[in-house]
Amino acid sequence: DIQMTQSPSTLSASVGDRVTITCRASQSISSWLAWYQQKPGRAPKLLIDKASSLETGVPSRFSGSGSGTEFTLTISSLQPDDFATYYCQQYKSYSLTFGGGTKVEIK
């Protein structure tokens, strides 16, 4: 299986901050990477697919970049609704795997 490692595991930030989350794959996955946002008690919400393609309805303050083994999710100006846990997911090969998550907390 391809292992996905996210960092940091927890991030404390303030409204208006620029936030960057990193996801590393144990082998190249080209651009076959998705990002999700999850709030407590809710299913994950898809934000980005193919590493940088923003889903319809997702605010433009979210962006994704990277290819190969290193990827980033950036929130350009953190908003109150953005405090949540974020997961990356590779879909280059089976078994599909997710990163361990990054919890974005209020500083």
Task: Please choose, from the candidates 92, 55, 47, the residue with its C-alpha nearest in 3D space to the C-alpha of residue 73.
Answer: 47
Smallest distance from other proteins to CB 33, Å: 9
Q: Tell me the sheet residues that pair with 19.
A: 75
What character string, x for contact with other proteins (CB under 8 A) and - otherwise, covers 35-74? -------xxx-x--x-----x-------------------
Structure tokens at 85: 């846990």
Q: Is 34 in the site for other proteins (CB under 8 A)?
A: yes
Rounded Cα–Cα distance for residues 77 and 74 (Å):
9
Near other proteins by CB under 8 A, which window of 10-18, 20-28, 68-76, 90-98?
A: 90-98
What is the pairing mode between strands 102-106 and 85-90?
antiparallel
Does the bond joining 40 to the residue before it have cis omega, within 30 degrees of 0?
Answer: no
Query: In whole angstroms, how close is the CB of 46 to other proteins at the nearest point?
Result: 5
Interface ranges with other proteins (CB under 8 A) = 1, 34, 42-44, 46, 49, 55, 87, 89, 91, 93-101
